[in-house]
């Protein structure tokens, strides 16, 4: 199941330096190749116009491969675009472009209308001038085809793991997404919240983070990237160490006691709440940053007011903000979201306990925007389809 780490489109600058040296190229040529691929999205060596001709030909003969193609794009009425991504072996995953985070917050009501964690944080940090300039877009990306974690409310979990993505396939989603932005939009945040458990595919996830944050590539600031995990404790610690806590962390908690959490998320048997909470306390979070706690509300499973109070107690002392996500119904299960009043009561209890707590509006509902749904649905368009 292991994916080779250094396929051409996953190479870092130093690796390109070694590679071009095999063809007699100089070290700055290696850096140029990296820039062509990762900053400009050009994967045809013959088009890398500042390389010597013989090097272009040699690299072209080796072939860089192509990581993916965007097979389908669905645009929801709220502007969310869901991309159906087809990988080289025909497997499909999904990626979502979510525009318009700024200026949508309903003042005072603590309902945030964006579908991601990090972007909301950025807005809080930099609320001044948020209405100015280009429309900020957040991209949600996948790390696996399916998922091995088996969460019962999740389409990817129900499907099971088909395979890991390589770092090239993870980053290529961002390169493709960036190239598909509408005029006046700018890619601002990346969230690892698509199909799959990023920390189960740790090496490729880390390599993709290094590629995305490299200053000669797209050059994302690590704080604009958030990795979401169901709670793989050893890998949370490793991620904290490998990036000195700079990468944003989101935890899919979904319950405040072990019995309930294990019922929803089998991974809780391996890493129960006490162990997970210790890992969060140990995460080397920079000052003024918070861990995002995701809590998918599933009617009759984890939505009692009592559970909100338990959650408040569990998280006491941790720098967190809480995102409540009414469950998006999935085909494979009869589970669903609680009524809106119940959701707001749950939120109220957490606000009263002193937490930042948002209800995430389900962006792009009309295009099956819940985790894993589009890729698993196949390519049957439900609404308007824009082919790219
Ligand atoms: N595997 C990682 C990241 C991908 S899932 C994780 O679990 O964190 C991204 C988020 O979507 C998680 O918080 C997950 O619990 C949530 N999610 C999955 N299926 C959902 C559904 N049907 N409705 C609402 N949220 C869902
Ligand atoms: Fe995997 Fe996340 Fe879905 Fe759980 S919620 S099955 S960890 S993708």
Residue of 228, 329, 335 best suited for mutating to test ligand 1, as the one with most atoms within 8 Å of CB:
228
Q: Is the distance from CB of 383 to CB of 367 less than 8 angstroms?
A: yes
Q: What is the distance between the alpha carbons of residues 371 and 328, in angstroms, rounded to a whole number?
A: 9
Q: What digits encode the pLDDT tens for the residues 123-157?
A: 444 443 445 688 999 999 999 999 999 999 999 99
Q: What is the distance between the alpha carbons of residues 40 and 208, in angstroms, rounded to a whole number?
A: 16
Query: In whole angstroms, what separates CA 3 from the centre of its chain?
Result: 20
Does the pLDDT at position 378 exceed 60? no
Q: What is the whole-number distance in angstroms between the Cα of residue 81 and the centre of ligand 2?
A: 21
Q: What digits encode the pLDDT tens for the residues 215-224?
A: 999 999 999 9
113 is catalytic: no
Q: What is the whole-number distance in angstroms between the Cα of residue 95 and the centre of ligand 2?
A: 15
Tokens of 241: 């160490």
371 is catalytic: yes
How much of the chain exceeds pLDDT 70, in percent?
Answer: 84
Q: Which of 360, 24, 42, 23 is nearest to 32 (CA)?
A: 42
Q: What is the whole-number distance in angstroms between the Cα of residue 187 and the centre of ligand 2?
A: 25
Q: Which of 165, 3, 38 is nearest to 92 (CA)?
A: 165
Q: What is the distance between the alpha carbons of residues 202 and 47, in angstroms, rounded to a whole number?
A: 33
What pLDDT does 77 receive? Answer: 85
Q: What is the distance between the alpha carbons of residues 212 and 113, in angstroms, rounded to a whole number?
A: 26
Residue 191 half-sphere exposure toward CB, CA atoms < 13 A = 26
């Amino acid at each position: 199941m292991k994916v080779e780490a250094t396929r051409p489109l996953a190479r870092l600058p130093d690796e390109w330096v070694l590679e071009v040296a095999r063809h007699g190229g100089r070290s700055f040529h290696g850096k140029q190749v990296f820039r062509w691929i990762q900053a400009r999205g050009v994967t045809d060596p013959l088009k890398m116009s500042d390389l010597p001709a013989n090097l272009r030909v040699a690299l072209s003969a080796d072939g860089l491969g192509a990581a993916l193609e965007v097979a389908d794009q669905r645009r929801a009425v709220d502007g969310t675009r869901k991309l159906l991504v087809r990988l080289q072996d025909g497997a499909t995953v999904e990626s979502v472009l979510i525009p318009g985070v700024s200026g949508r917050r309903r003042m005072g009501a603590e309902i945030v209308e964006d579908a991601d964690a990090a972007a909301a944080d950025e807005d809080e940090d930099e609320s001044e001038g948020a209405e100015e300039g280009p429309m900020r877009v957040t991209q949600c990306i996948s790390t696996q085809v399916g998922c091995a974690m088996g969460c019962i409310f999740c389409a990817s979990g129900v499907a099971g793991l088909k395979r890991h993505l390589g770092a090239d396939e993870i980053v290529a989603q961002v390169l493709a997404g960036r190239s598909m932005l509408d005029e006046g939009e700018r890619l601002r945040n990346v969230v690892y919240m698509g199909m799959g458990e990023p920390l189960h595919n740790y090496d490729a996830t880390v390599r993709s983070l290094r590629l995305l944050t490299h200053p000669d590539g797209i050059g994302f600031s690590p704080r604009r990237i958030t990795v979401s995990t169901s709670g793989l404790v050893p890998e949370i610690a490793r991620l904290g160490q490998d990036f000195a806590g700079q990468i944003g962390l989101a935890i899919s908690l979904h319950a405040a006691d072990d019995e309930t959490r294990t019922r929803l998320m089998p991974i809780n048997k391996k890493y129960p709440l006490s162990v997970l909470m210790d890992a969060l306390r140990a995460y080397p979070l920079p000052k003024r940053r918070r861990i995002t706690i995701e809590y998918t509300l599933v009617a009759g499973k984890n939505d009692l007011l009592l559970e909100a109070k338990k959650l408040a107690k569990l998280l006491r002392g941790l720098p967190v903000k809480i995102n409540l996500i009414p469950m998006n119904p999935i085909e494979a299960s009869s589970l669903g979201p609680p009524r809106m009043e119940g959701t707001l009561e749950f939120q109220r209890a957490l606000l009263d306990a002193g937490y930042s707590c948002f209800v995430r509006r389900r962006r792009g509902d009309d295009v099956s925007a819940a985790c894993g749904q589009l890729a698993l649905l196949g390519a049957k368009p439900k609404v308007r389809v824009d082919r790219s």
